[in-house]
Chains A and B, each alone.
Chain A
Amino acid sequence: MAYSRAGWALLASVLLAVPASAKTLTVVVPDSFALSKALVAKFERQQGVTLRFLKAGSAGAMVNRLILTRRHPLGDLVYGIDNTLIGKAVRYHLLARYRTPGTPELPPELQLLPTGYLTPINLSTVAITDDPSYFRKHHLPLPTQLSQLVRERYRGLLVMENPATSSTGRAFLLATVAHFGKSVWSFWQRLRENGLKVVNGWEAAYYTDFSKYGGSQPLVVSYLTDPAAEVYFAKTKLRASPVSNLLLPGSTFVQVEGAGLLRGGHHRQAAEAFLRFLLSRAAQSSIPTSMWVLPVVPGTTLNPVFRFDSKAPKPDQASSLQIAAHVQRWVHDWTAVVIEGEPASQVR
């Protein structure tokens, strides 16, 4: 046994050959993750570690991958588990308990429950983003109710993320469940029949299918921060954003994303330091323009571009504990109706 172990260690060191000198702290993140280089360098200097970010698909797919590999975790920390996914993460014992000092107190419906596993880092509101130029060009009025999306005139205009793989899609599904109640599945069945497009993650939806980026859907399930982001990234200085949000009742949902320690991860001290770092003033004020989310710490100064942000009334939404009790069932039902084409009547 000993010699085989030595052989493996040799092989692993050849293959894994991570920079052997420094401690490497590995953070598992969803595809949409971004953090400024300066910030990363600052933390690495402070702690004397190398940070490595492992992109593991959209948030939902990332959690699934973490579950399948939980006996030997992919990293030391995870970032990007939100209030729609925390239940699953806790049920499969992915997270180690740690309460980061300085964690801000959030309103009860936005807390990442059960507490003690995830440190909330940022907030974002899922909403439908529209490409106004498309609607102008086609002389179409913008829809004002979710239920109008099943009409013939809006056929094939909406692209969304699969709730099984994407937390954005999951959040949107939860918003519709809260809005429609029992009739939600017939809404989804009619939306499917009306040419709803489903993709695996937010990036594919926004950058491939959204008409603003050359795709064929002028409506995309995305975020309230899109108008601001489009102004920020525009090549010329803009007075108004080229995209806007459709604030249809029952289509918005506040996502609280958090970070936490992975059970079985290493470098506990550095990992805890990273969580504290994410709550620091420097990180909180930089995260908004790298990931287009809002800081969780109150009083953080925001880039002025955020004045282009859409403002929405706060949706009336369930807490993460209530969500955890039902969300898997809902995602399964959604899959049956939208992907597998089962009639809504088949789903309770």
Chain B
Amino acid sequence: MSARRTEATSWLLAALPLGFLAAMVAWPLATVAGGALLHPAALAWLLRPYGLHLAVWTAEQALISTALATALGLVLAGFLQTYHFPGKPLLLRALLLPFLTPSLIAALGLLDLFGAHGLTGLHPGGGLLVILANLFFNLPLAIRLCYGGFSRVPPQALEAARSLGSSPWRARLRVTLPLVWPAALAASSLVLLYSFVAFGTPLLLAGPRHQTLEVLIYVLTLDQLRLNRAGAVALLQLLVLGAVTASYTWLQRNLALQLPSGIGTSRSPKGIGKLLVRAGALSIAALTLGPLLLVLAGSLSGAGRPSLAAYAALGGLQLPVSLARAALNTALLALLSLPLSLLLGGLLALAIWSSPGVLDLLSLLPLMVSPVSLAVGYLLLYPGLRLSLLLLICSYALLAFPLVTRTLLPALRSLPHSQLDAARTLGSSWGRSLARVVAPQLRAALRAAAALALATALGEFASTLVLVRPSWTTLAVGLYQVAQHPGQLPLAEAQAIAVLLFGLTLLGFTALDGGRAEIG
């Protein structure tokens, strides 16, 4: 009886999030894709050389990024797990920063290195830039997920292998790797997902031959007004992302039943080893944080010298609204979306917790669809003015609430069911036991979830760019508008906006999270 009851409860809990998904994902997507299905010519266009080329290129850049991020992530995570060095907790935490970075900021960092007047003097093609940007965002994510995998390897297992005569390398290969593998696979499916829908960097840095499908959807819609073709591309993208997401949830579910966490040991080497380890740690920091520092440095220099001119010039920027207004818009929209993200994400996490299964996959649906094609669907479906404001808020919540669910789930899963059962046996209602037993133990996870949701909303760019009405221009959109005309306004000003935006994100994140976020 109780199994069926739980299942019913879990669907009840999920009703609101599911309704939201239907209105915000299923229907708009059906509208966009439906147009394509009714026009076979649009689908056939995908098979023309250009459509094929971009589809292949999108997959190619995503796969290359994934392979690099996973391989490097494994090695670097193994390094971090094995050695101890001063500042290690700080570095581990700093690895979250790229995840919080609005995508355009990374693009600006790359422009600093490789742009027309870049520091390196090198001008790699747009394709390489797209992959580099993917790595910037995803390598830290891969490191963190793999690091989690490494810390689940019981030292006893390694010791046993060693005492049975394995060499250290052999022990790693035969014992550690199989145990870390699921974490690495989960990391790679997430990286694949994020790289596949890369938008900001390719839009700004890649030419027509190195766009991703996500940028193509944008171009077909807003530049060419060929909505059926845009729908066809969105449909293709949905199929690919659906397959990747399904494999991710499968891996994650199998991974969640692994070993207890947090018993890893690390050692502090002496002598030359110590130097090498510090150099290693520094290069991880440089790889993942370099672009951010470059943007900061760029914003603080003018004509090759340190200067605050870029910040002083921000007042006179030609944006649809003043910069202060854009900052206020950014903050307001993000704050308005936060309660919605928490409510939806929380409900869905509870539902999945009480009965995992298909809901688990559904919770990742928002990550599977392109924000641009959804935004296009909203424009077609819900054209009213007031609605479009609501839509902007909802589309932020849509992107943020899966992260809330993902963050709350591990915390929920680590709760002993027996506590809840005890409360229920003692006569407490469902709601009451949730409030009295579950919620207090979730406080840390809730704060982390809120922090992630806020950061997501603050930096969101893709759907904002489609939906935004000029009077609600956000910092991210303003940044794009300035960066798009780099000849007219120096890059430094775009970088100054980027610093403001990143500062706002970091502020919101730290205020909510208080210093302890994990991504599940």
Contact = CB atoms under 8 A, between A and B. Distances in A.
A98 interface: no
Interface string A39-51: 0000000000000
B223 A15 contact: no
Q: Is the interface of B mostly helix, strand, loop or mixed?
A: helix
Contacts of A200: 223, 484
A200 B223 CA distance: 9
B415 interface: no
Given A72-B388, A198-B208, A203 B222 contact: no
Interface string A214-248: 11000000000000000000000000000000000
B223 A164 contact: yes
B223 A340 contact: no
Contacts of B329: 15
B516 to A, nearest CB: 32
Nearest to B224: A164
Nearest to B486: A208
Interface stretch (B191-199, B354-362, B469-477): B469-477
Contact of A215 (B332, B383, B471, B487): B487
Contact of A342 (B50, B226, B332, B487): B50
Contacts of B333: 15
B223 A61 contact: yes
Contact of A12 (B117, B379, B383, B386): B386
Contact of B383 (A72, A203, A207): A72
B225 interface: yes
B424 interface: no
A178 interface: no
Given A55-B320, A340-B49, 7 more contacts: A15-B332, A54-B470, A64-B222, A203-B488, A207-B485, A209-B487, A339-B208
27 contacts: A8-B390, A15-B332, A15-B472, A55-B320, A55-B481, A56-B470, A57-B222, A61-B222, A64-B225, A67-B225, A68-B225, A69-B379, A70-B383, A71-B383, A72-B388, A164-B223, A198-B208, A203-B485, A207-B488, A208-B487, A214-B487, A332-B224, A335-B224, A336-B50, A340-B49, A341-B49, A341-B50
Interface string A1-44: 00000001001101110100000000000010000000000000
Contact of B222 (A68, A215, A342): A68
A268 interface: no
B386 A8 contact: yes
A148 to B, nearest CB: 25
Nearest to B390: A8
A162 interface: yes
A213 B226 CA distance: 34
B314 interface: no
Contacts of A61: 222-223
A339 B485 contact: no
A209 B488 CA distance: 11
Nearest to B466: A68
Given A165-B223, A214-B487, A69 B469 contact: yes
Interface in B308-333: 318, 320, 329, 332-333
A65 interface: yes
Given A15-B332, A18-B471, A340 B48 contact: yes
A243 B388 CA distance: 46
A146 interface: no
B244 interface: no
Contact of A15 (B53, B226, B389, B487): B389
B50 A340 contact: yes
A214 B49 CA distance: 34
A340 B211 CA distance: 12
A263 B476 CA distance: 30
Contact of B223 (A54, A64, A208, A214): A64
Contact of A74 (B117, B318, B470): B470
Contacts of A72: 383-385, 388
A56 B473 CA distance: 11
A282 interface: no
Nearest to B392: A15
Interface in A312-348: 332, 335-336, 339-342
Contacts of A140: none
B78 to A, nearest CB: 44
Nearest to B319: A55
A18 B329 CA distance: 13
Contacts of A342: 48-50
Contacts of B384: 71-72
A8 B469 CA distance: 16
A12 B469 CA distance: 12
A335 B221 CA distance: 14
Nearest to B386: A8
A143 to B, nearest CB: 24
Contacts of A164: 223-224
A268 to B, nearest CB: 18
A214 B116 contact: yes
